[in-house]
């Protein structure tokens, strides 16, 4: 994939981004979003959704494809990039876009500028490249889901990495400072005068750097996490030989089934590199048995391998552990006698209540949907108007049937109780009702003809009719010899 060109971003209008967001929302439930659904979600004031789509296709932000069952539009990587960059620019996180400084098997790195003129690093996750497509086998991003688009995979990877960077930076680990995250874009601190370890040919003291890297691996494990890709490509070295760790979406918990294997693999990668590059080999290296858990970062970020059962057990341990204040109260309470059975029952009930509150609060914390709030409100208004139009057409149909049957002469209600609106026949003009029904049918016909004229829809209808006709010809006729 070539470099990202953001020149077109300056000339896109508000309607262009509304249509891009509509295609993005439609891709949550459709592999190819139909043109009618894009127009309904966008709800442009003066129409023209097809014209906007043509311009977006010309700039390769959206593509039109013919699927096996239906035809429609889908976002490209560039279109998804533009949506994320537009959001970050509206938040005033970035104001300028620079050159590309790195390319990996699953991401691209660019230099950006913020409002204060400081340079930052922008990481665009590109899951789905030919070099790395076994996502289901390597990582459990989807969990209970069976399939998703590569754009959704990239978004999950960016969110996971941002969560890891945030907790590690807060604990004082040598990682870049996270700034913001939107969709598949991650903005972080740009490390000046730092180079990847794979490009470093010599260091002042290989033994000291070796000890620092091994201490980092053990420190991560003591906090409940394993990097799983701790090698010379994901370690930056400063001028003072100080290491910095990058690339975190694949981290797992030390409670993972294969945690020991990944831990030993990280150790082996560093040992082999130092032996090959600096001709340094040490007989001392940590093992998985040396891990002494000090913190629960895997619990905070829900790392892979940390199950709900482990979460409940950890919660019970935290809630039932005696605190310092309880010990002081027990030491000072010499004159009062407390029944042990009642005290244990009360503690267990309090712990269960706290656990239920914690689990309920955890269920409420979910990911924010990928949609613009303005577009969401437009969709809700559209659905309300559609319901109102459907109810009005139902009332008009009931009125027409009542007029044709002649039941309206007795002054009874034209509509049944199920419709919800009761109007006397003396209040309704027959000619007015006929005119309204005729106008409604005429408008529906115009909408149907306009829907057929949309690009791609006419050919799709013709193809389906041709397939149905061929199926009827090939279908055997039963009952004839």
Instruction: State how far the Cα of 286 lies from the Cα of 309, in Å rounded to an integer.
Output: 29
The reply to whether 229 belongs to the active site is yes
Write the burial class of residue 345 (CB in 10 Å: 0-12 exposed, 13-18 middle, 19+ buried): exposed
Tokens of 149: 């688009």
Instruction: State how far the Cα of 139 lies from the Cα of 157, in Å rounded to an integer.
Output: 10
Q: Which residues pair with 97 in a beta bridge?
A: 112
CB atoms within 10 A of CB 349: 10
Instruction: State how far the Cα of 192 lies from the Cα of 461, in Å rounded to an integer.
Output: 58
Residue 193 phi/psi, 5° resolution?
55, 40
Instruction: State how far the Cα of 81 lies from the Cα of 89, in Å rounded to an integer.
Output: 12
CB atoms within 10 A of CB 45: 8
434-473 in b/e form (b: 16+ CB < 10 A) is eebbeeeeeeeeeeeeeeeebebbeebeeeeeeeeeeeee
Instruction: State how far the Cα of 425 lies from the Cα of 410, in Å rounded to an integer.
Output: 8
191-213 in b/e form (b: 16+ CB < 10 A) is beebeebeebeebeebeebbeeb
DSSP label of 74: E
Tokens of 119: 């340079």
Helix H or strand E encompassing 433: helix 430-453
What dihedral angle (degrees, nearest 10) is formed by the CA atoms of 96, 100, 102, 104? 100
CB atoms within 10 A of CB 261: 12
- With a CB cutoff of 8 Å and minimum separation 6, the contacts of 50 are 35, 39, 454, 455
The single residue of 16, 71, 81, 229 carrying the catalytic annotation is: 229
Instruction: State how far the Cα of 451 lies from the Cα of 124, in Å rounded to an integer.
Output: 37
What is the Cα Rg of the chain in Å? 32
Catalytic sites, residue numbers: 229
């Amino acid at each position: 994939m070539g470099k990202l060109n953001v020149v077109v971003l300056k000339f896109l209008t508000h309607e262009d981004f509304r249509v891009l967001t509509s295609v993005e929302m439609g891709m949550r439930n459709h592999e190819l979003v139909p043109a009618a659904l894009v127009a309904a979600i966008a709800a442009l004031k003066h129409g023209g959704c097809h014209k906007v789509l043509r311009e977006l296709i010309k700039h390769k932000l959206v593509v039109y494809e013919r699927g096996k069952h239906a035809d429609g539009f889908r976002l490209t990587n560039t279109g998804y990039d533009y949506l994320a960059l537009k959001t970050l620019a509206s938040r005033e996180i970035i104001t300028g876009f620079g050159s590309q400084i790195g390319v990996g098997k699953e991401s691209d790195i660019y230099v950006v500028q913020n409002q204060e003129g400081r340079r930052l690093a922008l990481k665009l996750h590109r899951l789905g490249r030919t070099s790395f497509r076994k996502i289901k086998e390597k990582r459990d991003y989807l969990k209970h889901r069976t399939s998703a688009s590569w754009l959704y995979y990239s978004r999950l990877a960016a969110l996971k990495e941002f969560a890891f960077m945030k907790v590690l930076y807060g604990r004082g680990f040598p990682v870049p400072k996270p700034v913001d995250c939107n969709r598949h874009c991650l903005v972080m601190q740009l490390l000046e005068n730092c180079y990847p370890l794979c490009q470093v040919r010599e260091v002042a003291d290989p033994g000291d750097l070796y000890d620092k890297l091994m201490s980092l691996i053990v420190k991560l494990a003591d906090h409940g996490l394993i990097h799983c890709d701790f090698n010379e490509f994901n370690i930056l070295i400063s001028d003072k030989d100080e290491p910095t760790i990058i690339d975190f979406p694949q981290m797992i918990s030390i409670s993972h089934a294969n945690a020991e294997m990944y831990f030993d693999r990280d150790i082996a990668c560093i040992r082999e590199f130092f032996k090959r590059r600096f001709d340094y080999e040490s007989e001392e290296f940590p093992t998985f048995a040396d891990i002494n858990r000090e913190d629960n970062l895997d619990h905070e970020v829900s790392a892979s391998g940390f199950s709900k059962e482990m979460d409940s057990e950890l919660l019970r341990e935290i809630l039932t552990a005696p605190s310092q204040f309880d010990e002081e109260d027990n030491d000072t309470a010499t004159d009062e006698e407390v029944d042990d059975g009642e005290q244990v029952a009360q503690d267990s009930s309090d712990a269960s209540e706290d656990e239920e509150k914690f689990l309920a609060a955890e269920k409420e914390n979910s990911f924010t949907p990928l949609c613009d709030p303005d577009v969401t409100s437009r969709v809700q208004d559209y659905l309300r108007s559609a319901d109102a139009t459907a109810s009005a057409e139902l009332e008009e149909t009931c009125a027409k049937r009542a007029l044709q049957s002649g039941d309206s002469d007795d002054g009874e209600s034209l509509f049944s109780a199920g419709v919800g609106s009761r109007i006397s026949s003396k209040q309704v003009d027959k000619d007015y009702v006929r005119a309204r029904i005729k106008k409604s049918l005429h408008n529906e016909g115009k909408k149907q003809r306009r829907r057929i004229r949309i690009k791609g829809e006419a050919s799709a209808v013709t193809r389906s009719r041709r397939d149905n006709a061929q199926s009827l010809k090939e279908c055997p006729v039963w009952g004839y010899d």
